Structure 1
Amino acid sequence: MSFQEPDAPVIAPVGRAASAALIRSRRTRRFLEGPIGPTLARLAAPNAIAMFVQAAMSISEAYFAGRMGVTALAGLALVFPLVMLTQALSAGAMGGAISSAIARALGAENTERASGLVVVAWILAVAIACLSAVLMALFGRGIFTLLGNEGDAMRAALAYAAIFFPGCVSLWMCHSTLSVIRGTGNMFTPALMLVLVSAGSIPLSGAFGLGWGPFPALGIAGLALGMVLAYGIGAIAALAYVLTGRAGLSLREGPIRPSPALFADILRVGLSASFNSALTILTIVMMVGIVARFGEAALAGYGLGARLEFLMIPIVFGIGAAMTSMVGANIGAGKRDRGLAIAWTGSFAAATIIGAIGLLLAFMPDLWLRIFLDPAQAEPLAVGRAYFRTVAPFYFFFGLGLALYFASQGAGRMMWPVVGSICRILLAIGGVWAFVNLTDLGVRGVFIAIAIGMLAYGVVIAMAVRVSRWK
């Protein structure tokens, strides 16, 4: 199967690399000169489709876990924030830093630097994946214990983690390589590959988890195995695309030496972005730990609400990835005002989409909850409904802050998104302490604190970008 963009000409194999480089140059020129709205929409459309398919993958995983029982759902709720942290770091934080660095290099017409950044991106992906696997092996049980669960739910979470984290190098290599391709302005190919990966993960996870046909029923561990295998296939396809020159970057013209400056270019943005993502995930992890103290049924109900909150991240990523590359190219070319215009256009579009989803579920939470829960599971349903009615109306601000985070990655200015995340976690934790200890609101008090944190997150980042203008 070919992953060539629809508007690309038919290319003879001999001239494929040179023609790909020309197409890549034309994409960069569109970033710098094309009308903002239509260009952004064209770039974001394939990403958005891919993210919706990824959302379907996540929904199917929760559905399969639901067929295994409340304990499996509770275990998935415990491990899911750490899985999403891996996704957020590989695709959004470090992935966005990779796209941004390559886009800025191409905006400055430095193709040699862009090629060097590709190799650096792969080195970082393997190193971080190995580090995360080691850390989880050493501290996984302690993390789940801190979250307040030492029973069957923790054992389910550990079974999932035992497969996912040793295999997460497949996610890191897949997302890092797709980020390289996005940095060249090609959004179609990464989107298509993610669609195929996500579509393949669903039947693989179901087969290994529930034992379809000749496959063994591995339970919750099988869900992780299906995802890891699908991303491994995607990583191989993405690597082949780049190494054969189809991304428009040549890695064969001479020896590429990964210099400290190239590592610094990615890590300067990537570490700040990773810290920001970690704060976002930490906020939800801490809420999971607090809700776990209200019982397994409450944890299962909140876990379904938190899962949708996590799914807002890949939905915003659909627009955010396009903004990262567009803003990066314009910043590299010295067009700051145009970069800001791109940021505001895309961020308000993303916030509007996320806000509309939130309002819908605030009024009709069972549209989501009944996918996973039966009417007889009254307590998890009640907790899930309370979550959506309290938190979902504030999804607009979460979407606004998150989209500006992606735009700020493109600009290489990550201070204010980090400040926004710090404000969010401090207000959420402080609010939880106050509402749980000083009122009789119970778990609903936790949800009110989450909503306050979301509001602060969006408002702080938006005001900071408007005032500072990334200077």
Structure 2
Amino acid sequence: MSDIAVAELPPVAPAAPAPPAATPPPPKNPLLDDGILRTLLRLSWPNVVALTAGTCVAVAETSYIGRLGTEALAAMALVFPFVILTMTMSGGAMGGGVASAIARALGSGDDDRAAVLAMHALLIGLCFGLVFTVGMLTFGERALALLGGRGAVLSQAAGYVHIFFAGAVVPWLMNTFAAILRGTGNMKLPSLMILSSAVLQIVLGGALGLGFGPIPRFGMPGVAAGTLTAFSIGASVMAWVIFSGRAGVKPRLDGFRIERGMFIDILKVGAVSCFSPLQSVLTITIFTHMLAHFGTAVLAGYGIGGRLEFMLTSIAFAVGIASVPMIGMAIGAGRVKRARQIAWTAGLVSFLFVGVVGTGIAIFPHLWIDLFTDDAAVRLAGEQYLRAAAPMYAFIGLSISMYFSAQGAARVLGPVLAQTGRLLFVVGGGWLLIKNHGSAGSFYLLAAGSMVLLGVTSALSVLVTRWGPKPPAASIAG
């Protein structure tokens, strides 16, 4: 058989491996990627609605307390600093620390850490609430007397304190639950709960304070009881949402272990921040004590003006607390430039809004004063205070916004020291006015000047403070 020549075929090349599937881009985070002003306003408006309701509470509460008499109004002016201290410490100071820590954890992509932080936050809130209860039930009446409370005014103020601070754990836990939600960027649910609590507070506080139908007239203790009941309902709803896993961050009880680092992450912002409302309330307390020497009418008029300050600066609070998760997530993601842009945008919005409304009320103070009293002496004192101080509320709004921005960046010492400067300014200026027999009007100007000082120094502190991680130490070549 003859050989048959077979042509060699070229070797078949192996098939090229298929290119790897493209990794899908990470989901877009609106707090990190959307426009700053638009996102800030979107997060702020639920807070504005809720805190506007809180303002309605302040107006309604002052109105029906006014029906209890001028002494009750003066008693509320004495109690107000302690109530505000509780709410600002739990909601703005420690609450800001909680929201900042959770937002930074989420910004870095560590969801498990955020859940553990939430559980530690609740422990902190519980402990601080108990401290307030023990402190105020033991020393509250003595503190009210030191502020100038006497006779029926002191008695009514003490009645409020004994009820409200017996349940001080309630506002602390309520504001801690709200802070956990806000740290995730959820502003709507906490705001809805504040709104609902505000409605209940007006109804229950008014009914228990003044009496309604079969309900007897309990006076100031009834007003306090209505407030606590409303807060308890709001806290319960937020607790259910968080522990049911519907909030994006779920604190876990099973296998929970206390970790020192988690406390530090919250307290390095929250504990330092607490000195800001503490100093703010100390400033108000000292100022109230100084004004008490001018009589009940001046004290009541200042208390009415102080309610307006609380109302307007609540708007700055709404904008500021919205900036915390935005800045915290930006810092966690390493986007420091965006974090600073958020801070200055929030500061400008707060300054302009509070300033415009405050100036309008300064021009027409009767629009506010007439809501609360017909007493000629009280009206005169309130109008004098508002004409001097209300335009300067803009600087209080700026300082609040800077304070929350610094919380989001975990660099809060500067705004706290700004409050120290204001405190020293009021103490020193008040001492000089007392020494020189200054009038009530001169004290009002002192208050206005202290607001300007606080706003300017808070903004400067944010401007000069470095944000983001510290740069690594430079190595020295051998």
Q: TM-score, normalised by structure 1?
A: 0.92
Is 1:135 the counterpart of 2:132? The answer is no
Name the SS for the 1:166 alignment partner.
helix
1:318 partner amino acid: A
User: Secondary structure of the equivalent of 1:250?
Assistant: coil
Match for residue 382 of structure 1? 380
Are 1:353 and 2:385 matched, yes or no? no
2: distance between equivalents of 1:111 and 1:181? 14
Measured after TM superposition, the shift of residue 268 of structure 1 is 0.8
Shift of 1:252: 4.8
User: Can you give the 5+ residue segments of structure 2 that lack an aligned partner in the other structure?
Assistant: 1-25, 469-478
Counterpart CA distance in 2 for 1:420 and 1:470 is 18
Partner AA of 1:40 in structure 2: L
- The equivalent of 2:11 in structure 1 is none
The aligned counterpart of 1:435 is 433
Rounded Cα–Cα distance in structure 1 between residues aligned with 2:193 and 2:141: 34
Alpha-carbon distance in 2 for matches of 1:277, 1:191 = 21
Q: Distance in 1 between matches of 2:428 and 2:142?
A: 24
Partners of 1:205 and 1:232 lie apart in 2 by: 14
Deviation per CA, 1:283-331, whole angstroms, max 9, x where unpaired? Answer: 1111111111111111111111122222334221111111011111111
Query: How many residues are matched?
Result: 444
The residue identity in structure 2 corresponding to 1:417 is: P
Is the contact made by 1:119 and 1:258 (CA closer than 8 Å) also made in structure 2? no
- What RMSD in Å do the two structures reach over aligned CA positions? 1.6
Task: Please give the alpha-carbon distance, in whole angstroms, between the structure 2 residues aligned to 1:343 and 1:51.
Answer: 21
**Aligned match of 1:3:** none
Distance 1:149 1:249 in 2: 45
Structure-2 residue corresponding to 1:423: 421
Residues 402 and 253 (structure 1 numbering): CA distance in 2 closer, same or farther, change over 3 Å?
A: closer
The answer for the alignment partner of 1:274 in structure 2 is 274
Distance in 2, matches of 1:429 and 1:232, equals 37
Query: Is the 2:90–2:175 contact (alpha carbons within 8 Å) kept by the matching residues of 1?
Result: yes
Residue equivalent to 2:60: 60
Contact persistence 2:365–2:386 (CA under 8 A): yes
Please report how far the alpha carbon of residue 435 of structure 1 lies from its aligned counterpart in structure 2 after TM superposition.
2.7
Any unmatched runs of 5+ in structure 1?
A: 1-25
Q: Determine if the alignment matches structure 1 residue 394 to structure 2 residue 392.
A: yes
Judge conservation of contact 2:327–2:408 (CA < 8 Å) in 1: yes
Is this contact kept in 2: 1:133–1:168, CA < 8 A?
Answer: yes
Can you list the C-alpha shifts for 1:387-431, whole angstroms capped at 9, x where unaligned?
001111111111111110011110111111011101111111212
Give the residue type in structure 1 aligned to 2:65: A
Give 2:476's aligned residue: none
Match of 2:445 in 1: 448
Provide closer, same or farther for how the CA distance between residues 28 and 366 of structure 1 changes in structure 2, counting only shifts above 3 A: farther
1:7 alignment counterpart: none
Is 168-177 or 307-316 further displaced after alignment?
307-316
Matching of residue 91 in structure 1 with residue 91 in structure 2:
yes
Q: Does 1:104 align with 2:104?
A: yes
Q: Does 1:73 align with 2:73?
A: yes
Q: Distance in 2 between matches of 1:295 and 1:27?
A: 62
CA contact (8 A) 1:391 1:451 kept: yes
Q: Report what 1:189 is aligned to.
A: 189
- Whether the aligned pair in 2 keeps the contact of 1:28 and 1:107 (CA below 8 Å) is no
Amino acid at match of 2:391: P
Partner of 1:461: 458
- Aligned letter for 2:259? S
Q: Distance in 1 between matches of 2:45 and 2:264?
A: 31
User: Deviation of residue 48 (structure 1)?
Assistant: 0.7
Give, in whole Å, the separation in 2 of the partners of 1:333 and 1:216: 57
Residue 312 of structure 2 aligns with an amino acid whose one-letter code is M
- In terms of mean alpha carbon deviation, does 179-188 or 243-252 score higher? 243-252
Deviation of 1:254 (Å): 5.4
Task: State the 1:467 CA deviation.
Answer: 2.6
Residues 99, 180 of structure 2: 8 Å contact kept:
yes
Change (3 A) 1:452 1:470: farther
How big is each residue's C-alpha offset from its partner over 1:337-358, in whole Å with a ceiling of 9 and x where there is no partner? Answer: 1001000001110111111121
The answer to which structure has the higher helix fraction is 1
For the 8 Å contact 1:436–1:443, the answer to whether it is kept is no
Shift in CA distance, 43/410, structure 1 to aligned 2, threshold 3 Å: same
**Contact map agreement 1:89 1:95 (CA 8 A) in 2:** yes
Residue identity opposite 2:94 in structure 1: M
The 5-angstrom pairing of residues 196-345 of structure 1 reads 196-252=196-252, 255-345=255-345
**Mean CA deviation greater in 244-253 or 222-231:** 244-253
| 1:297–1:28 CA distance, 2 compared to 1 (3 A) | farther
**Residue 426 of structure 2: SS of its match in structure 1?**
helix
In 2, Cα distance between equivalents of 1:30 and 1:170: 33
In the other structure, the counterpart of 2:12 is none
Give, in angstroms, the shift of residue 469 of structure 1: 4.2
Q: 2:431 is matched by which residue type in structure 1?
A: W
Residue by residue, what CA displacement relative to the aligned partner does 1:20-72 show, whole Å, maximum 9, x if unpaired? xxxxxx99811111110111110111111111001111111111110110000
Distance in 2 separating the partners of 1:397 and 1:317: 13
Q: CA deviation at 1:152?
A: 1.2
| Contact kept in structure 1, 2:116 and 2:252, CA below 8 Å | no
Supply the distance in 2 between the matched residues of 1:468 and 1:447 (Cα, whole angstroms).
32
Cα distance per residue 1:425-464 (max 9 Å; x no partner): 11112122223322x5411111111111111101111122
What is the CA–CA distance in structure 2 between the aligned matches of 1:261 and 1:313, rounded to whole Å?
33
2:142 aligned with 1:145, yes or no? no
Q: What does 1:39-54 correspond to in 2, within 5 Å? A: 39-54=39-54
Given that 1:100 and 1:324 are in contact with CA atoms closer than 8 Å, whether structure 2 keeps it comes out as yes
Aligned to 1:116: 116
242-251 or 259-268, which deviates more:
242-251
Q: 1:250 to 1:79 in 2, by over 3 A?
A: closer
Check 1:253–1:119 CA distance in 2 against 1; reply closer, same or farther (3 A cut). closer
Q: Indicate the SS of the match to 2:166.
A: coil
Q: What is the identity, as a one-letter code, of the residue corresponding to 2:459?
A: A
Distance 1:118 1:101, change over 3 A: same
Distance 1:301 1:28 in 2: 51
Q: TM-score normalised to the size of structure 2?
A: 0.90
Question: In the TM superposition, what whole-angstrom CA distance separates every residue of 1:78-121 from its partner, at most 9, and x where no partner exists?
Answer: 00110011110111001111100100000011111110111111
Q: Is the 8 A contact 1:97 1:269 kept in 2?
A: yes
Q: CA deviation at 1:173?
A: 1.0
